Every structure is written in structure tokens, then in C-alpha cells.
Amino acid sequence: MSRFLRIAVIPVLICLVILTGCDRPSWYSKTNQISGLALVSPSDPATFNYAMNRSPFSVFPFIYQGLVKENGITNKLEPALAQSWTIPEDRLGIIFTLRDGLKWSDGKPLTVDDVMFTYNDIYLNKKIPTVFKDYLRIGNQDVFPSIKKLDERSIEFSLPEPFTPFLRNSASLAILPAHALRDSVLSNDADGNPQFLSIWGTDTAPEKIIVNGAYQIESYTPSERIILRRNPYYWRKDAQGQQLPYIENIVWQIIPSTDNHLLRFRSGELDVLRVKSDTFSLLKREEKRGKFTIYNGGQATGINFITFNLNQASNSQGKPFVDPIKSRWFNNLAFREAIAIAINRKRIKTNIYQGLGELQHSPIAVQSPYYLSPEEGLKVYNYNPQRAKQLLTQAGFRYNSQQQLVDEDGNSVKFSILVKSEDQSRIATAVEIQQDLKQIGIKVDLQTLNFNTVLQKLLAKRDWECYVGAFEAGVIEPNLIALFWSSNGSFHMFNQGSQSKKRPIVGWKATTWEKEIDRLFQQGTRVTDENKRKQIYGKFQQIVAEQLPVFFLVNPISLQAVRDRVENVEYSAMGGLLWNIDEWRLKGGN
């Protein structure tokens, strides 16, 4: 479950979920009291259709699994729906053997036919714009594995060339039920699109959503809660033969504001709380009295960054996504370098993260064997506002009598920073950046919107200027972040090309350095020698550092407070808190 928890939509983006559920809060009526854990999210789920989801706020980590899974502590691959796999010497394929007796939550058999359907008819279907297609794309063209059923439990994936990430990527691809979804794939709506694109929305009756994970959806009340109950047909049992998961129910409470989370935890209502840097000292003092433990998972594996919209294209009506005047600024490397060194990241570390973090330099997590450190030659950008002003004036910008920055045509340099409303630390970071840029004569406005709207602007409308965000960084397999860094990736937000032939964009182009990143990612998938792969992904990190499509901020320490009544917690930043949720127990029973 770890990979689903971390990259259910990608990764991009880290899933900020918090479990709750000790004494039941007031929203429980006596007739609906449910024992177990409750999960809190700042946002409703966008959909219950796994393949169409792009939001990190989802229940998919609990309701679906793939052929394999990652151990959240060791990061080693372990069997899931597949009990075993074999890889030939030429590395041009892989054979998975499913477990015997697998079933869906409605009791129907889960077979190789479901695997065939999921990959061929959904993930590789040209009419279905799912982000998970990126996990299967081999090279920079639309080349994908071919799939063959060998018998009722065995399936073979054949590759046109060696593709080292394929097995690990399989941990991110849930298997979906053919008997429940095939008709929607084969039938079209009034616009000629597969009905699958709109099936299993959040208005779907829960009993119609067929799953294979540890839990299934019991009910959903928009803007209030989702109730999950144990899937009686879940495949996994413990060493004594007891059916997993141990905990009967999970309630996902939906609260847009995170301000109440600390209060609820301290009052005893919550079992688990994501500990923010500014509340760590307070909670640490209360740890023993409050009967909870603060787990330190190490540095977060995601990237926290600021980026500009470098897209110079126009929509199908010919309107530029970015004001051409501002686009010239953003696409000027000297301008981006000046912004990078004008941001006081040490102050962000102190003020926002209370020192509980480290300055970030790379798009790859520090825990990764492919991480390139500054000591190994990675270019870094230290705070130097005077040098930032020099770079700007050398690039043709100048300061007027009010010390405001203007370009060579006299246009005042100003832009807006887009930030999601659900994350107060990210908003505070944007405010710090706003103040830093004011010191070099740049006026910045903040545009704070809910995250689902932010995603629409980033990936569909493309009508944004600057964004303070986060994304999952590569830990064990860098190819998993290709969807962010490859020029044709589904989350290549800083220069997003056309993702649909029905919504073409005009004048889009990839830069030379973007194409070089494409080449490096393609090369990295073909080799198995770890030293060669480290060199390849080291070059990728150097290009990002030199070209600055994204500049990194602070990587916080991952902290979670968990009530002592919760047992079997195994927390790491790499695996997340909930990767082994099916093994969790509550003292005294459910």
C-alpha cells in the first residue's frame, strides 16, 4: 500500500492525510457510532474512479492494490495480488503469477482477465487520458508493453527493449474489475468518449464500487465523511491465518481547515496527527501525559518548490496561456537565477519549519542512491539579493525612481503566486517569498485557491504565472518522477504540452534542455548497472540545477504523533505512515 499512498495521483504531490478516532466527536449520531479509526482530509475526493484521479485526497490506498507492493521501511518489492514473478535474462519481459483464490469485494473471482482488462483496456487505451499511462511508456514515443495470458493465473508482459523500472512501477498500478467496468469502456457517451471517463464519480452508490484492497466504501456524505469497512474478501492473512485488516472501520472526516486538527488531537479525539514544525515543541512536552508517541520519519521524500509557467503556447482560440510580456521574463534564465538567489531559504527554514528541515537542492530525495549532493558537484543557489539585482540589470531590467523593477520596455515586473489554501505552511512560505522579492523591487500577489482548482489551472487551463507547490521525489526508482520532468509527462506543469487531441494547443515546444532530460530518462530505463544509472540521473540533476525550471525550498522533517493505543505502526518518510495500515491494531480490540 505504500506506493498507492505516495503516488495515488502522482506524486507529485504529497498526500496529507491524518488519522483520527479516539473519543468520537460531535458529528457522530448515536445511531451511526462506529468503532475504529477516523481519517481527516482537507478536501473531498475528486472521484472514485482510480484511473481518472489526479487528486492526492483519495481513498484509493485503502481500496485497491496492484500486482506488487513496496515495503515502506526497506523499499523492497513484495508480492501483492501476484504471489511471484520471473524476469528472463534478456530483461525483455516479466511473468506474473497471481495468488490462488483471489476475489473482488463482491465475492466474484479476480483473475488474469482482470489484469488484461486493466492494462489493455484502461491504462493503454488511447481514448482514456489516465496519468498512469506514463508509468508504462517506454522511451519518449508511445511504445508500451504487450500483454499475453498464459493460463488462468499467469500473465506475461513483453517489452520491446529493456525497461528497468517496469516491475517497481507495477506497484503503482491498481488492478480494476473487468466485470464491473468493461461495459463503460466499450460504450460511448454523446460526445463519443468512453463512458468510463465519467463512471464511478463521487455520486456513485458505494455498493457499486468494486475493490480488491483491505477496505471498501461503506458510505460517503459530501463535505462531511467517508466511512470505510473491512473488505471480507481481502486476500491477506497474518502468520496465524487471521484475516486482515485487523481494524474493522475507518472514518475519513472531511474538514477544509487544518486549524482544528491540533485542538482535536490534544483533546483526545484523534489517534494520529501530522505534526507541523510550529507545533512540535508543544506536542513533545505533552507526549507522555497525552499517551502518544511522535515518530520521526526522517526528511520528507518530496520536493517543495517554486516554479514559473514557461509555456509559450496558446489555447485553441489563440489566446496565450501566459501574458507574452511576463512569459519573456519567466523564460529568461538570468531572471530565474535572480529569483533563486533572492529567496532567503534559511529564513524559511527558521520561520516556517522552526529549523526542522534542510535546504533542498535536488529533484531526487536525499535517501535515494541516485541523489547528487552539492559536495559531488551539484550547483546550489545561496541567498544574495545584491547579486540578484546585478543579474537583473545585466539582463536588461532596471530600477525606476521608486526602486521598482521594470523591464527594458518600462513594464513593471509583477506577477501572482498560486498556492493551495489547504496548506498553511505553504501559504506562509509564499508570503516569505513575496517579502523577499519585494526587496529586489518585484511586486507579488498571492492567489490562494483550493487544491482541486489549483490542479485545474496547472494541468488543464494552464492560466497561471508562478506556483509554490510540492511533488513526490524519486527515492528508489527515478523513473517514477518522469511524469513531472519528461516533456510529454502528465504533470510537466512548468511547460505542459497538449494532453488531448480534442483540446489542442498552438505553438507549444520543448526546449533543448527538456529534450536532453527526456533522453536521460529514456537512457536510464535501459540500463541495470547502478553506477551508470547514478551517472545518468546525476546529469539530470545538474541540468535542473543549471536551467532552474523549478527551484527548491526547504525539505521538512516528517513527523507523526500516534496514540499509544495504536499498535504495529511502522513509519518512515519513504513509506509514509499508512503503508501497513492492514496490520494496525487497536489495544483492547477494534
> In this predicted model, what pLDDT tens digit does every residue of 53-85 receive, in sequence order?
988 778 999 999 999 999 999 989 999 999 999
What local confidence, expressed as pLDDT, does residue 316 receive? 86
Segment among 454-458, 470-474, 556-560 with least mean pLDDT: 470-474
Q: Burial level of 323, CB count in 10 A (0-12/13-18/19+)?
A: middle
Whether residue 32 is predicted with pLDDT greater than 70 in this model: the reply is no
b/e map 513-523, b = 16+ CB within 10 Å = ebeebbebbbb
Q: Burial level of 508, CB count in 10 A (0-12/13-18/19+)?
A: middle
Give the CA diameter of the chain: 78
Q: 187 to each of 50, 178, 201, 423, 443, how far by Cα in Å? A: 19, 14, 17, 40, 51
What local confidence, expressed as pLDDT, does residue 473 receive? 63
143 Cβ contact partners less than 8 Å away, ≥ 6 residues apart? 137, 160
Q: How confident is the model over 127-152, as a mean pLDDT?
A: 89
What local confidence, expressed as pLDDT, does residue 501 receive? 62
Strands 154-158 and 93-98: antiparallel
Q: 354 to each of 277, 351, 399, 425, how far by Cα in Å? A: 6, 6, 35, 11
Nearest-angstrom CA–CA distance, 158 and 92: 6
Q: What is the 8-class DSSP label of residue 364?
A: B
* Cα dihedral 199→201→206→212 (10° resolution): 70
Neighbours of 406 (CB within 10 A): 16
What local confidence, expressed as pLDDT, does residue 140 receive? 66
Q: Which of 213, 229, 246 is nearest to 102 (CA)?
A: 213
Provide the mean pLDDT of the chain: 90
Is residue 109 within 8 Å of residue 103, measured between CB atoms?
A: yes
Residue 239, in any domain of the structure: no
Residue 417, in any domain of the structure: yes
Q: Which residue has better confidence, 565 or 548? A: 548
Residue 158, in any domain of the structure: no
Task: State pLDDT tens for residues 496-527.
Answer: 998 766 667 899 999 999 999 999 999 998 88
Q: Which residue has better confidence, 33 or 573? A: 573
Whether residue 12 is predicted with pLDDT greater than 50 in this model: the reply is no
Residue 522, in any domain of the structure: yes
Q: Which of 590, 494, 477 is nearest to 530 (CA)?
A: 477
Domain of residue 485, residue span: 302-556
Count structural domains, the chain. 1
pLDDT band at 96 (very low <50, low <70, confident <90, very high): very high
Residue count of the chain? 590
Residue 450, in any domain of the structure: yes
Residue 446, in any domain of the structure: yes
Q: Is 548 left (phi over 0), alpha (psi -120 to 50) or beta?
A: left
Residue 94, in any domain of the structure: no
What local confidence, expressed as pLDDT, does residue 210 receive? 98
CATH classification of the domain holding 383:
3.10.105.10
Task: State pLDDT tens for residues 218-254.
Answer: 999 999 899 999 999 999 999 999 999 999 999 888 8
> How large a percentage of the chain has pLDDT more than 90?
71
What beta strand segments (E) does 206-356 contain? 215-221, 225-230, 249-254, 272-274, 292-299, 302-308
Residue 133, in any domain of the structure: no
Q: How confident is the model over 95-109, as a mean pLDDT?
A: 98
Task: State pLDDT tens for residues 421-447.
Answer: 988 889 999 999 999 999 999 999 999
Q: Is 188 left (phi over 0), alpha (psi -120 to 50) or beta?
A: beta
